[in-house]
Structure 1
Amino acid sequence: MNKNEPHTSAIVLAAFGTTYDSAVESLLAIKRSVEKAYPNTPVRYAFTSNIIRKKWHKRQSDQQYQQDHPEIPASFYQVKNVLGTLADLQNEGYNQIVVQTTLLSHGEEFIDLKAYVDALNSIETIKPEWKPFKQIALGRPLMGTWGKQYSYSEDIEKLATSLVDDVEQAKAQHSALVYMGHGNDHLSTGLYYELEEQLNQLYPDLQIYVGLVEGHPNFAALLQKLKNDRIQTVMIKPLMVVAGDHANNDMAGDEDDSWKVMLSQNGIAVTPILEGLGSNDKIQQLYLQHLRDAAKDANITLK
């Protein structure tokens, strides 16, 4: 292809999104790592949450907010869902797209995302050249997916390995390490049990626990483990791409139902760390590898 011809490939980063300006950097860090790897391929964010998109759209007319937060990219104020973002790219002439999710697991959101991609790939036109997309590939979540091609257990092991800096930080504080994940109430969250087991096998000199906002292991199960192990001090971090609403309120908030408060009421000293996984350069590289895998499998060239 002549370098002056328009590139037909593009990348969409599909995230749930966040309304917390302090959490945006985690998303931008992932985008920068992708842009560094593929400097000649457009990379755009899509937010799957309707509520979050509407909040950013409202901020589009808030000049004071924009002045106070110059770190927010202009594109966030007009951010679209995955279908809208793909439609924009198609209208601009891009017909080979890699959609890389920033989700953690193959849960309900990823299933919906996969349904969108599969539906668009299935479109057939009378004349093949008028198909809206030549190919759309979907990169697997951080904790992997089922199937023979990519072992989800290896993805979990790589995730655990990438959390080494958290482990060292907890050791320095002489604390156990607790992760708060999101989870869900609709599908199995057994992956988180496996992650906890993998973490404790990989770092046997530190006690590490994983609990979820939704699904299992829930807070009650987590608290019981901490009591059984006679844990008195913990460092708690979000097992989420961004340190947004759940991290700031459910994990580290001052309300009676926050994990910080409930753990403190049970005699456990708590140090919250408000940092999303997206800020971890090792995690960024895992997402990038999943994107590479998806592009390679679909024979999509990214430059």
Structure 2
Amino acid sequence: MQYRFGDKIKFIPAFILVCFLLIPSFAMAGHGDAKPVKKGILLAAFGSSMPEAQASFDAIDKAVKKAFPGVPVRWAYSSSIIRNILAKEGRNIDSPVMAMTKMMDEGFTHVAVQSLHTIPGEEYCGILETVKAFEGMPKGMSKVTVGKPLLYSNKDMQRTVKAIISNIPKDRKAKDAVVLMGHGTHHVANIYYPASQDYFSKVDPMIFVGTVEGTPSLDDVKVLLKKNKAKKVYLMPYMSVAGDHARNDMAGAEADSWKSELTKLGYKCVPVLKGTAEFPQVLDIWVDHLKVAFKHLGDH
């Protein structure tokens, strides 16, 4: 093979060209080291210390592995409080930093991290900043992407509303109220909860959204229940798992639980102890976000 440059002829040995053509896809790490492309998935949840919540995590794990056969899946809990509680029980769950460090040591070059949080709040933003720090690190990962939390876009909100409504107990009558307990936050992303109220109201005027630590509050919900003359109330978590908040703050026997407070006001309360991650239609939203993140990993 030859090329002309002006009046000169330069030859490129055939074996050099063959070498270039045969070089496999490599991810370049720091200091010129070349590592074969190795893709993986990290599922990052807030976490829960309650055994009953494991059903939600198992459902997520199963759905992700079905959608990405053959792709290694790792887990991390973003809550240090939850991790410490579990550690005392002999269960060691990695933080996002530790999980990413281990994946880096295992030679993963491309990692899609899926946030299993409900809103893009403090936990999600923390994960976003943490895992992206591993991208381009010397001898680290070439590409890291992060999948959006459950609620992010207008389409997410519409799909979530439809998914939750389809999983309300079938014996619920149209006049019965449904109260969804969200976590709530002081982060600006708390706006997703009053926004959720608006989305639900347009489809079902007897569904009300409250939060434990943000707004709308239980007091706001009480006003709406009274205004709409509800008598029976279904209490459901607006969280991925039916953990401590759902079992104690929402449905617990304590005097300040939502069930107790509403019962005192004359409402007949029916707790539904299932996290949103136990609903197949909700899982589909998270998996779809992960598919986008995984696609953006590329191969280089």
The match for 1:267 is: 266
CA-to-partner distance for each residue in 1:168-212, whole Å, 9 max, x for gaps? 536358621110000112324221222222222234xx5110000
The alignment-based identity, stated in percent, is 31
Superposition map of 1:130-145 within 5 A:
130=139, 132-144=140-152
Q: From the superposition, tell whether residues 137 and 170 of structure 1 become closer, same or farther in structure 2 (CA, over 3 Å).
A: farther
- Specify the structure having the higher radius of gyration (Cα): 2
Q: Which runs of 5+ in 1 are unaligned?
A: 61-76, 145-151
- Which of 113, 120, 123 does residue 134 from structure 2 map onto? 120
The match for 2:176 is: 175
**Any conservation in 1 of the 2:136–2:143 contact (CA below 8 Å)?**
no
CA-to-partner distance for each residue in 1:46-85, whole Å, 9 max, x for gaps? 011112112222222xxxxxxxxxxxxxxxx221100101
Is 1:88 matched with 2:87? Answer: no
The match for 1:43 is: 73
Q: From the superposition, tell whether residues 177 and 255 of structure 1 become closer, same or farther in structure 2 (CA, over 3 Å).
A: same
CA-to-partner distance for each residue in 1:109-156, whole Å, 9 max, x for gaps? 111111112322253x4xxxx3x0011100001001xxxxxxx11111
Greater alpha carbon shift after TM alignment, 164-173 vs 181-190 = 164-173
CA-to-partner distance for each residue in 1:74-97, whole Å, 9 max, x for gaps? xxx221100101111111111110
Is 1:240 matched with 2:239? Answer: yes
Distance in 2 (CA, whole Å) between partners of 1:114 and 1:134 is 16
Q: From the superposition, tell whether residues 273 and 168 of structure 1 become closer, same or farther in structure 2 (CA, over 3 Å).
A: closer
| Secondary structure, counterpart of 1:171 in structure 2 | coil
Letter in 2 for 1:33: A
CA RMSD of aligned residues (A): 2.1
Q: Which runs of 5+ in 2 are unaligned?
A: 1-23, 26-34
Shift of the alpha carbon at 1:296?
A: 1.8
- TM-score, with structure 1 as normaliser: 0.83
Distance in 2 (CA, whole Å) between partners of 1:172 and 1:33 is 31
The match for 2:157 is: 156
Superposition map of 1:170-249 within 5 A:
171-172=172-173, 175-203=176-204, 207-249=206-248
The match for 1:26 is: 56
Distance in 1 (CA, whole Å) between partners of 2:251 and 2:169 is 21
| Secondary structure, counterpart of 1:103 in structure 2 | coil
- TM-score, with structure 2 as normaliser: 0.84
The match for 2:20 is: none
**Any conservation in 1 of the 2:242–2:275 contact (CA below 8 Å)?**
yes
